[in-house]
Structure 1
Amino acid sequence: MLRKVPLIVVLGSTGTGKTKLSLELAERFGGEIISADSMQVYANLDIATAKATKEEQSRAKHHLLDVATPNEPYTVVHFRNAALPIIENLLAQSKCPIVVGGTNYYIESLLWDILVSPKDADEKADTSNAGTSARREGEDAGATENAQNPLFLPLAEISAMSSELLHNHLRKIDPDSANRIHPNNKRKIMRAIEVYQQTGQTLTAKLQAQREQPGGNRLGGPLRYSHTILFWLRCKQDVLNIRLDKRVDAMLEQGLLREIRAFHNEHSIDKSKTDNATTYTRGVLQTIGFKEFIPYLEQYNAANDQKIEEYLRLNAYKMPTEEHFKAQKPSSINATQVRKHKVAAQSQSEHESDRENEFELGSATNPNNTTATTPLPAGLDVLNSCLNELKLVTQRYSKKQIKWINNRFLASRDRQVPDLYELDTSDVKLWQTEVYERAVAVIECYQRGEICEIQPMPKREHPSAGLNEETSNYCTVCERQFIGEYQWQLHLKSNKHKKRKESLKKKERSNVVPLGTNAEDLQS
């Protein structure tokens, strides 16, 4: 007899093959895919956010793609309230929900009861309009009752306040949350204040109630679904770096420049207006794949894009060599952008020595045999700098994703964590045997109630276990704030702190004036 239909979750860094595996598993087990990506919920920017293509979406039903617009906020609470009813409906139909995406805290919100919102987590949203109705949830809850509270702040006032002022206000209403949240993390500070204003309870009190539930722990409430299978797609970092760079190059050929130009024109802002204007610090405007191109988009127009597109098309979408760029007359690129370009280029050379030939003169990068004297379109150097920055940021983000999975799934022994199975995607030639067939074997063994020869990854204790992670410490030497004892201890042991401390001591010693020294002696 088959066991209950499992909830399948596909984790992994950008570029590891999550979309490919999710499609194969959906076809194999008749499942439907739930996208857990904080940027793919927004319409447009399909190339920049690496959405499943229309052809890929036709192979299996996809949920929570293109359900929001950039002009309205879409938070993890909105996502959770839209996704949970979809999962429940699929399970009720004995269909396999396959959650896939790179926004790990979105995935975490589905697996555990960890979020705080004005309405109960198990309240069912209307799935036919989940993307819209969920966004309205909680916006007005409790506003009338709390308006008379002297600690209540109007929403417009909260949005306009600095992080420092908001953190000071949070300390008045919820000092424990103020200790737990970094003063610079404006988003989390605002969320803690909103919870208090919408519910009349502090975020600390609500989190404590979650932790006290059976199965709860320091990270929050219990596991929602015991029948969950986690797949972690991994790839050697040097291989992944090359793969990510090639993805960026391919995006340019797919029409990335046209896509971001259209998006920029539609959502560009009047910088003289600050009241509720969409800014480059909010939502989809901070998408990796868009924000890196703002320097180019603000300096050049669509007519210039066409000249660059024509040049790239004639040169097989290969950028000119550094020698070619240097030989050209400097464009209006500013010093900051030049520095960003140099940093990105240096980082690429460190990670990609095996790709150096791509940047040499010759047919590989210069199919039309253009020389260093061939004129380049205006702004091509700026665009190239933006592309290099995107490659650097994407690599950095992939490492951040790995760190999160390690900390939240493998280093939390006191937490109810489903089994996590590692799948190595480094060699694409071995995909069938090392990725797809292993994943299928794990799922089928689970369904039959059999012990699988493929074992889950072992769990370990996190170094912060037993330490107070809800306290803050300020380093007067380095003038920095640290949240949690673990980070504080790491900082005190760091070479940076020790060097800074020694430097200050030397400065103090040099400023000591020996007894008996006259003022005239100091001036001479």
Structure 2
Amino acid sequence: MLRKVPLIVILGSTGTGKTKLSLELAERFGGEIISADSMQVYTNLDIVTAKATKEEQGRAPHHLLDVATPAAPYTVTHFRNAALPIIEQLLAKSNPPIIVGGTNYYIESLLWDILVKTDEPAATPRKLQPAMLLADSVMATMTSEELHNHLAEIDAGSAMRIHPNNRRKILRAIEVYQNSGQTLSTHLTEQRCQPGGNRLGGPLRYPHTILLWLRCRQEVLNTRLEKRVDGMLEQGLLGELREFHNKYANVTGEGYTKGVLQTIGYKEFVPYLSKYNAEHDVQLEAYLRAHNFVLPTVDELKGKSADDVIPVGLDLLHSCCEQLKLVTRRYSKNQLKWINNRFLASKDRQVPDLYELDTSDVNAWTQMVYKRAESIIVSYMDDAVCEIEPLPKRTHPGADLDEETSNFCAICKRHFIGEYQWKIHLKSNKHKRCREALRRKQKSEKATIHDDSQTAS
């Protein structure tokens, strides 16, 4: 019997054990690992990105680690164009590709045909009017509102779909129009009309795909994430960030400002790195080493006596670490929402079966995670019934609403994209408070006008 060779995708929030499982499955099934992490593509950021160590990389072939620098932009399109040929080559050799990472839109770009190509002119391009074309230098000086107004003139559909404050997406839509001669809306319509397409884009690329979703109880995950940041300091985080900052902080261009500077793990430390130098790093590391790399809390710092020698910059470093912990926890929750909405509750989308694996108890890893993942893959390859059932699909409460329309709340002075978010806003306590405050203000103004008129008469 011919065994099916699946594309194995390991999803999950930061800190759930994706690297560990990817290595175990690669060794078990002779697979190769393709990293889908928007931070791990950058060179020399091993510790802060929790990149697989050199020893771990020696256990199985790895792809798309250390392939970019901030000197040039690295986008999801770059990632997709690099990853797809690797996947095809591995499948041709009957070696299962193992996609692992926390950047979900990277993973989506491989599973579905969702990105728009702009490097090739359309077959029947529109004749672009010179007034509709903007030079990069001109767009750089325009506000997001001005760019959005320009987009509304050339592509009303995209303007309705993109938030006026989302400068990156606005520029992308303008770029599509100027490079291809067709609007982004036209490209999306063509993509969605393919067999298997839906409102999110084109069809599924690989029918033989297994999705493994590593889950962890939030309170356990939060503790792990905090310990991970503390452990990074002991591994040499300061030295790594200092070397990277000194090399690239003065680099101009989108690779830095729109690439690594926007990703979690580096930007949180820029305030410290910009204010202090390597000499301060040495002092701080010596202090931390003497205290087992445990940062004192803010209250502990305030309570230190005059005899305690506190290195300059320790308070700012502490603030940076706390910020990293905060944004990492927030990001892990956003990853959960993304998977729930884009994988489990996407109406009409071709989504492979999604299997949940609980990684909360590290002592039960072998039975609860590895063995279950192995059973799922073996059953699939042998075309046998698996005792482990995939998660049931669910219906998103906004599934039947128009998600490509824009609404502006004149009371709260905010834009909302999609009917679902608009309906949520109208029912929110914040909106009701603003509405009531406006009502009281208007009532007060009317009373004042009435009193003034009475006095005048």
Q: Same fold (TM over 0.5)?
A: yes
Match of 1:248 among 222, 229, 245: 229
Letter in 2 for 1:169: H
Unaligned 5+ segments in structure 2 are none
Summarize the alignment of residues 92-491 of structure 1 with structure 2, pairs less than 5 Å apart. Answer: 92-119=92-119, 149-269=130-250, 277=253, 281-327=257-303, 373-491=307-425
TM-score, reference length from structure 2: 0.95
Equivalent residues of 2:22, 2:98 under 8 A apart:
yes
CA distance, structure 2, for counterparts of residue 32 and residue 460 of structure 1: 32
Which SS does the other structure have where 2:164 is aligned?
Answer: coil
Q: 1:520 to 1:66 in 2, by over 3 A?
A: same
Structure 1 residues 516 and 419, CA gap change in structure 2 (3 angstroms) = closer
The DSSP-based 3-state class of the residue aligned with 1:33 is: strand
Q: Is the 8 A contact 1:24 1:436 kept in 2?
A: yes
C-alpha spacing 1:59/1:159, structure 2 compared with 1 (3 Å): farther
Tell me by how many angstroms 1:517 deviates.
Answer: 3.3
**2:104 & 2:216 partners in 1: Cα distance?**
17
Post-superposition CA distance 1:62-101 (Å, at most 9, x none) = 1111111111111111111111111000000111100000
Matches within 5 A, 1:487-506: 487-506=421-440
> Is the CA contact 1:231–1:423 (under 8 Å) kept in the aligned structure 2?
yes
Cα-to-partner distance string for 1:145-185 (whole Å, 9 max, x where unaligned): 98873311122333343211111111111000000000111
Distance 2:360 2:387 in 1: 22
User: Which residue does the alignment assign to 1:18?
Assistant: 18
Structure 1 ranges of 4+ moved more than 6 A: 145-148
When structure 1 is superposed on structure 2, of 72-81 and 147-156 the one drifting more is: 147-156
Once the two structures are TM-superposed, the CA of residue 117 in structure 1 deviates from its matched residue by 1.0
Following superposition, the deviation at residue 280 of structure 1 comes to 6.4
Distance 2:378 2:297 in 1: 51
Kept in 2, the 8 Å contact 1:233–1:424? The answer is yes
Map of 1:58 onto structure 2 = 58
Q: Pick closer, same or farther for the CA change 1:440–1:511 going to 2, 3 Å.
A: same
Greater mean deviation of Cα atoms: 229-238 or 47-56 = 47-56
Quickly say closer, same or farther: Cα 1:408–1:257, change in 2 above 3 A: same
The DSSP-based 3-state class of the residue aligned with 1:150 is helix
Tell me which residue corresponds to 1:78: 78
One-letter identity of the residue aligned with 1:95? N
Change (3 A) 1:279 1:8: closer
CA distance in 2, matches of 1:262, 1:397: 26
In 2, Cα distance between the equivalents of 1:105 and 1:490? 25
Q: Is the 8 A contact 2:73 2:254 kept in 1?
A: no
1:518 positional shift: 4.2
Q: Say if 1:31 and 1:394 are closer, same or farther in 2 by CA, change over 3 A.
A: same
After superposition, the C-alpha distances for 1:410-461 in whole angstroms (9 at most, x for unaligned) are 1024110000000000000000000000000000000111010100000011
Label 1:173 to 1:446 Cα distance change in 2 as closer, same or farther (>3 A): same
Give the deviation of 1:373 after TM superposition.
3.6
Q: What aligned pairs does 1:28-47 form with structure 2 within 5 A after superposition?
A: 28-47=28-47
Range with greater deviation from structure 2 (475-484 or 156-165): 156-165
Aligned-residue RMSD, C-alpha: 2.2
Paired letter, 1:325: L
Residues in 2 aligned to 1:150 and 1:499: alpha-carbon distance in whole angstroms: 44
Deviations 1:229-248 (A, max 9, x none): 00000000000000000000
Decide whether the 8 Å contact of 1:327 with 1:372 is kept in 2. Answer: no
Percentage identity across paired residues of the two chains: 66
Q: Relative to 1, partners in 2 of residues 1:312 and 1:83: Cα closer, same or farther, differing over 3 Å?
A: same
2:173 is matched by which residue type in structure 1? A
Task: Give, in whole Å, the separation in 2 of the partners of 1:399 and 1:513.
Answer: 48
- Secondary structure of the 2:213 match is strand
SS at 1:34 equivalent: strand
**2:68 counterpart residue number:** 68
Shift of 1:323: 4.1
Q: How many residues align?
A: 455
Q: 1:483 to 1:96 in 2, by over 3 A?
A: same
CA distance in 1, matches of 2:70, 2:163: 27
Query: What is the CA deviation profile of residues 240-287 of structure 1, one whole-angstrom value per residue up to 9, with x for unaligned ones?
Result: 0000000000001111111111111111238xxxxx546864201222
CA distance in 2, matches of 1:431, 1:372: 48
Alpha-carbon distance in 2 for matches of 1:71, 1:157: 22
What is the deviation of 1:372?
7.1
| Contact 2:73-2:256 at 8 Å conserved across structures | no
- Could you tell me how far apart the structure 2 residues matched to 1:263 and 1:146 are? 45
Instruction: Quote the Cα distance in structure 2 between the aligned partners of 1:146 and 1:296.
Output: 51
Q: Which amino acid aligns with 2:235?
A: Q
Shift in CA distance, 404/194, structure 1 to aligned 2, threshold 3 Å:
same
C-alpha contact (below 8 Å) 1:269/1:279 kept by paired residues = no
Q: CA deviation at 1:288?
A: 1.2
Instruction: Supply the AA of the counterpart residue of 1:5.
Output: V
Residues 1:195 and 1:323: Cα distance change in structure 2 (over 3 Å): closer
Q: Which deviations, in whole Å up to 9, do the C-alpha atoms of 1:452-491 show, x marking residues without a partner?
A: 0100000011111111111000000100000000000000
Distance between the aligned counterparts of 1:106 and 1:70, measured in 2? 18
Q: Which amino acid aligns with 1:203?
A: L
